[in-house]
Every structure is written in C-alpha cells, then in structure tokens.
Amino acid sequence: MDFDFYYGLQSQTFSFYRIPKLLFTDSRFSSLSAEAKTLYGILLDRMDLSMKNGWLDKQNRVYLFFTVQEIQESLGCGKNKAIHLMKELEKMGLIERKRQGMGKPSFVYVKNILSCPESGLKRFRNQTSGGLENKLQEVGKSNPNHTDYSQTDNSKTNLSYPSNDVSDHRETDAIRKREDYRRYFREELGIDEIKTEYPSNAEMIEELFELIVDTVCSSRAFIRIGKENLPAEIVRSRMMKLNAEHIRYLISCLNENTTKIRDIRQYLLTALYNAPATISSYYNQLVQHDMANGLI
C-alpha cells in the first residue's frame, strides 16, 4: 500500500481513541501491557454509547457491554489474547465485571484512574466482582438495548448534622480530588507547553484550564451549556475527552472572534463542551480554503 503524506492541517481531520497519559507515566501501571492500555482507551470511548443509552445503575454508575469477540475485532487479536487483556485490566483494578450467566454478556464497569489514592491500587484490587454482587442487583433487568435513562434512587438522608470530623474529611477529599484533576489536566492538555506557544494568550489558557477543572469537580446535578441544562455526568464526560489540540483550536477561534461576549465564562464553557464535536469541521474548512487558494 502506498499512503500519501499529511499536508498542512490534514492531521486534524480524524477522531482518535484517547488513552490517559497516566497509564504510561505512572509507575503503578508499568506492569500493564501496551495492548491492555489500548483496550482501556477503547472502553473509555465505548462509555459514550452507554451514556446515550442510559446504561446507569441505581448508584448512577456507568456500565457497558463489550464482548470478547468485539475485543478481537477492535485489536485484531485471538480469543485467548482478548480474554487475557480483560483479566489484566481487572487484576489492575481498572475495570470490574459482573457476569450475568445464561450466555449473556457481562456488565463491565470502567474504573476512574484518578479516584485511586497515590498510595497504590490495593483498595481497588480488594474490590472483587463478588463484592458488587448485592449492588448490581439494582441494575435494570430490562433489555439493555432500551435507550431510556435510568433514574438514580434518592435514598433517605440522615437529618442529623455531621460531626466536624466528617465535614473535615469530606473537605479534605474534595481538595485532594481537585488537585488530582488539576495535575491530570495540566499534563494531559499540555497547558504549560501551550502557554509557551501562545504567550500572549497565557491568561486565557489558564482560564480555560481552571474552567475545565471547576466543571469536572462540580457537585451540581446539571450544568448549563448554552441555553440548556445538561446532566453533569454528560458534561464531565465531554470534558474528559479534551486534549491539547482542542485548546489550540479554541485559542484560534477566540482570537478570530470579533463579537462582544457578555458572559465570557458561559461562552468558554460552551466552547469547551462543543470543541470535540466541531474541531474536525473547522480544520476541514481551513484545509479546503488553503487548497482552493493553492496554499497546499
């Protein structure tokens, strides 16, 4: 096969699987094979379909279905290899499976690597599929092809005021969670590198960075995007798809904008949310413009 080269901005015309850099930079994951890390990225991508289909259990946890055959097709590997890769992720604590039996596909829960404490993965490894047995009774038994969103049970809350110790603990957890996400996005988005590339936009880049962290760490059930209030989980999922090219794309768009913006925070939040869906069209248009003018 004789493939052509990329010209100009054509390299931005594809969508990609995203594999968290932490899987390669954090020593805790050094024993994980490259194929297993790739599979984790594919499973993360598959969670979008789960959100659209409303595949949430009563604790609002997203689950998906991904068979051994689908792994074979996605990675071009044999059955034994596909089974081994899932076991790798399960042993590492990056996924958890609940088998249904009767030849039905397993429920697959993809774990959030940022929720794991720095001390290691022991807590995750201790959570076996058997430990979820009772919790998964809550998963709807209806045909998983239904697309209605599952509802989260509102359990009865304790009306007594929490002790100071509990409040302090929650506050500490919230601070730690925010710092974890700050480190993740600063590295994943290459914030410092982009600021070096666009020194005149350094303040705006930091603003985008902080807005992303604020949104992902928000405890609100709904987040306003444009004129709509969207479920927070959907907005967070979109934010987790952002990469350095999306930030560069937004900088270009903002620099070209000449319209007065009244609510800059809401404008930027909407732009961030839409970036993964609009970046390809933007670069395709630029490529077509350059080709039409003989620039490439």
* Predicted TM-score (pTM) of this structure: 0.51
Segment holding 91, helix H or strand E: helix 79-92
Tell me: the pLDDT tens digits for 7-40?
554 555 566 778 888 898 888 899 999 999 999 9
Q: What are the average pLDDT values for consecutive 10-residue runs of the chain, which has 296 residues?
A: 64 68 87 94 86 82 90 93 94 90 84 65 42 44 42 42 57 82 88 92 92 91 90 87 88 84 87 80 49 47
- Taken in order of first residue, the domains within the chain and their CATH numbers are 22-138 (1.10.10.10), 171-292 (no CATH)
Buried b (16+ CB within 10 A) or exposed e, 40-51: bebbbbbbeebb
Contact between 205 and 198 (Cβ < 8 Å): yes
Contact between 192 and 227 (Cβ < 8 Å): no
Tell me: the pLDDT tens digits for 210-260?
999 999 999 888 999 988 898 888 888 888 888 888 898 889 888 888 788
Buried b (16+ CB within 10 A) or exposed e, 164-200: eeeeeeeeeeeeeeeebbbebbeebbbbeebbeeeee
Of 126, 116, 153, nearest to 137 by C-alpha is: 153
